Amino acid sequence: MNIAMDKTRTPDVAVLFDMDGVLVLTEEAHWQSWLQAAAPRGRQLSYEAFKRCFGRVNPDCIPILFGPMSPEESLAIADEKEIAFRKIVRANVPLIPGIVELLTKLENLGARLGVGSSGPPENVKALVDGGGIARFFGTMVDGSQVQRGKPAPDVFLIGAQRLDVPPAACAVIEDAPVGIRAAVAAGMLPVAVETTHPRADLLEAGAAFVFAEPAAIDPSRLVELLRERALSTS
């Protein structure tokens, strides 16, 4: 196929979603599960430090919350925390209001959809399956599948590769500054929602757009922007 024919073809586009704070409201569940892991160790955790963990993988979170730990103790804390987390959310997966409608509209517009989460695979599966939204996603990349967590772009680049869409034709919807930085590093359109962090922090991280919540995103306009980006870089 020659270049002229490619230019007339509607470009494939993709939207990659972070999990916590974008698809589901799990801030309180994560906080309570960290507290449960800290209690038997007699540790007092800082909520401010907890907020700095948003978007990060557990090996990066534990030094922030607990200070230096041996690899064995760090792994034990992470395992206890995630078991507690899944017990808390299993009974009722807290989907973000309006997220099913947004996913449905994006899918109907022809966008390919994926998940790019720092969470462990058990959490991603529990939340996506339990929330009844697995059917929307062509790929789900979790923290176990990357060598570097956010703000490195790995999780989103793997997602784009699996969806067979170039990074310039992808948007990332994120709630955390580290996730926005990962989207910028990936060369994708960084779209932020203010579910867990203030607008100023998200803009400082590089967000192109900031919305109060995912339901405020116009899916038609988002797909249009991505197709324009795809054509301008092809």
* pLDDT surpassing 70 at residue 109: yes
Distance separating alpha carbons of residues 135 and 119, to the nearest angstrom: 19
Which residues are within 8 A (CB) of 163 and not within 5 positions of it... i.e. 6 or more apart?
Answer: 14, 112, 114, 138, 139, 170
Structure tokens at 149: 């967590």
Distance separating alpha carbons of residues 226 and 111, to the nearest angstrom: 9
Output the CA angle 49-41-19, nearest 5 degrees. Answer: 45
Is 65 strand, coil or helix? helix
Q: Which helix (H) or strand (E) holds 209?
A: strand 209-211
Per-residue H/E/C for 38-66: HHHHCCCCCHHHHHHCCCCCHHHHHHHHH
- In terms of pTM, does the model score above 0.85? no
Q: Are 58 and 81 in contact (CB under 8 A)?
A: yes
Distance separating alpha carbons of residues 118 and 148, to the nearest angstrom: 10
pLDDT grade, residue 1 (50/70/90)? Answer: very low
Name all domains of the chain by residue range, CATH numbers in brackets: 3-25+93-233 (3.40.50.1000), 27-90 (1.10.150)
Place of tokens 């906080």: 31
pLDDT grade, residue 72 (50/70/90)? Answer: very high
Least confident of 3-7, 55-59, 225-229: 3-7
Distance of CA 219 to the CA centre of its chain: 18
pLDDT grade, residue 27 (50/70/90)? Answer: confident
